[in-house]
Amino acid sequence: MIDATEIAILARLIETGSIISGVKNEPFIRRLETARWITVGKRKAEWLVRLENIASLESRLSNLLPSWRKDFDFLRSINLDPYNPSDIEALSMLRRQTSISGNMVNRRNWNAAVGVGPKHKAKMPSNGVLTKDWTLRFRPNKGLIGQHEKGIVDLDAMATIWTECLIPERFWMSFATFAGILPKTIITCENLGAYIDLPVSESTLVIYSPGADIEAAVSLLKMFPTVRWLHFGDLDPEGIEIAKRIAGELKKDMELVIPFFAEDYLDAAKSHETIWNEVYDIPLLQALKDKKKRIFQEVFMLDERLLDALKIMQV
């Protein structure tokens, strides 16, 4: 197996004439110093090539990676870094896995194909786009229309037939804007059952935002920057944290859906071991913190007062 770290160090010295020492490259730097191929530079931790020894550096690099010039041109052509040892290690896989159908490929597939593991953060070649392939699920308000590069989609009509709208990430990338009747309020909903059954007015758009997986929901919310946003989730520390994360992405204040009748469910609240932190001067949350309890959002779903509670909050 090639010594990618040493290759990266030698290449940087040959092509740039200098290198900064660090924890990972320190052993190789010391070896090169001992061989008198490099000398101390003027900047902190800087080392410079001794010009009379460039040929020695090139000879060593050619022994480690005979085709290094061609390989480095290849890495740069697909937007990768020949001074990055992980990119050098992936060379053999990269040579076989550079064809991307339709200029898109799933991030985990690409990572696995180039040998860095499906969960690692990958660098995408310049001729393609990495996707996570999430699916955006939402219930549109009445009259909402979507416009994309191939035409328009009557989202209201779609939801009338399918109950909701589902848009894969790859199709979402071609979306341009929304038209027709725009929503007056948008509600993100943490749990699936609550999202499906939430009773809302015709002017409200509801987005399924499952747990901490907020990327799809945020992508849609950003299309409506001036529309009021509310978050309906579990009344516990985790649920509040999800709302905070969405608010942070949107750079908006967090507004929680807490029905006016929520205190009626305090006695039935479930014990919760997670430590409550900030409760934002909200009496119900303070009560739950004091009791070390939580309320799951689903308990409100069949309460006939829920629609009225949502209307009151949207005034």
Residues with Cβ within 8 Å of residue 143, at least 6 apart in sequence: 156, 180, 181
* Cβ atoms of 67 and 97 closer than 8 Å: no
Encode pLDDT of 116-133 as tens digits: 555 555 555 555 778 889
Percent of the chain exceeding pLDDT 70 equals 92
For residue 278, the model assigns a pLDDT of 87
| DSSP string covering 58-83 | HHHHHHH-TTHHHHHHHHHHTT--TT
For residue 224, the model assigns a pLDDT of 97
Encode pLDDT of 141-180 as tens digits: 999 999 988 889 999 999 999 999 999 999 998 888 999 9
Tokens 């909050």 sit on residue = 313
Residues with Cβ within 8 Å of residue 38, at least 6 apart in sequence: 13, 19, 29, 32, 47, 48, 49, 50, 53
Q: Which domains does the chain have, with CATH numbers?
A: 4-131 (no CATH), 135-313 (3.40.1360.10)
Residues with Cβ within 8 Å of residue 229, at least 6 apart in sequence: 185, 186, 187, 188, 221, 246, 250, 252, 255
pTM: predicted TM-score of the whole model, two decimal places: 0.71
Task: Give the residues across from 18 on adjacent strands.
Answer: 48
Encode pLDDT of 23-34 as tens digits: 888 888 899 999
Encode pLDDT of 31-51 as tens digits: 999 999 999 888 888 999 998
